[in-house]
C-alpha cells in the first residue's frame, strides 16, 4: 500500500490546522507555505477534506480554514480515506472470491490480519498525538 501524495498533503494540512488555537482560521496560502504544498494542489485537497466533513472553509477577508472537530477526534485513517478511499491491501481481503490462485486462498487470512492491524493503527493515530514538535 502506498499513501498518495495528495493524501500526504491532506495529513499535513490537518496536522497544521490541529496545532492552531481552537476556532483559529488559516488561509490556504499560509498552509501551503508552512507545509510546502503547491497552492493549486492544496485547493483541491481542501475541497475534498471539506466534503468529507473534516474542515470548514469560510470565504472573504476574514475567511480561512478550520477543523470541524478537535484534533483528538480526527484520525489519520479518516484523512487518508477522505482522499484515497478505503484502505485495501489486496483484492482478496474485500472479496474472497477474487483470489484467482486457489479456491482456499491460503494467504487471505494474512492479508486480512495485516489490513486490520494497519486500519486499527491509523484509526488510533489521532491528531492530538502530533504536537508542533512532531517530526
> 110 lies in which domain range?
5-129
134 assigned to some structural domain: no
Rounded distance, CA 88 to CA 127, Å? Answer: 22
83 assigned to some structural domain: yes
pLDDT at residue 114, rounded to an integer: 86
At 57, which helix (H) or strand (E)?
strand 55-58
Rounded distance, CA 17 to CA 120, Å? Answer: 23
**CATH number (domain holding residue 40):** 1.10.10.10
pLDDT at residue 135, rounded to an integer: 43
Q: Mean pLDDT in runs of 10 for the chain (135 residues)?
A: 90 96 92 96 96 93 91 96 87 58 66 87 92 56
Q: What is the pTM of this model?
A: 0.85
101 assigned to some structural domain: yes
* CA 31 vs CA 40, 68, 74, 126: distances in Å: 12, 16, 18, 19
pLDDT at residue 91, rounded to an integer: 67
Q: Hunting for cell 470548514 — which residue is that?
A: 56
135 assigned to some structural domain: no
117 assigned to some structural domain: yes
Rounded distance, CA 77 to CA 53, Å? Answer: 14
Tell me how many domains the chain contains.
1
**pLDDT tens-digit series, residues 75-113:** 999 999 999 998 887 666 666 555 555 556 677 778 788
Rounded distance, CA 39 to CA 42, Å? Answer: 5
Amino acid at each position: 500500500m502506498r499513501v498518495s501524495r495528495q493524501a500526504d498533503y491532506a495529513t499535513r494540512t490537518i496536522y497544521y490546522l490541529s496545532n492552531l488555537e481552537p476556532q483559529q482560521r488559516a488561509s490556504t496560502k499560509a498552509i501551503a507555505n508552512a507545509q510546502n504544498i503547491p497552492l493549486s494542489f492544496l485547493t483541491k485537497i481542501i475541497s475534498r477534506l471539506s466534503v468529507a466533513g473534516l474542515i470548514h472553509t469560510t470565504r472573504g477577508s476574514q475567511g480561512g480554514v478550520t477543523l470541524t472537530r478537535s484534533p483528538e477526534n480526527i484520525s489519520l485513517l479518516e484523512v487518508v480515506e477522505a482522499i484515497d478511499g478505503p484502505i485495501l491491501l489486496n483484492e482478496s481481503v474485500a472479496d474472497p472470491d477474487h483470489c484467482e490462485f486457489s479456491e482456499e486462498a491460503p494467504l487471505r487470512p494474512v492479508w486480512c490480519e495485516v489490513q486490520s492491524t494497519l486500519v486499527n493503527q491509523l484509526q488510533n493515530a489521532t491528531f492530538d498525538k502530533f504536537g508542533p514538535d512532531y517530526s
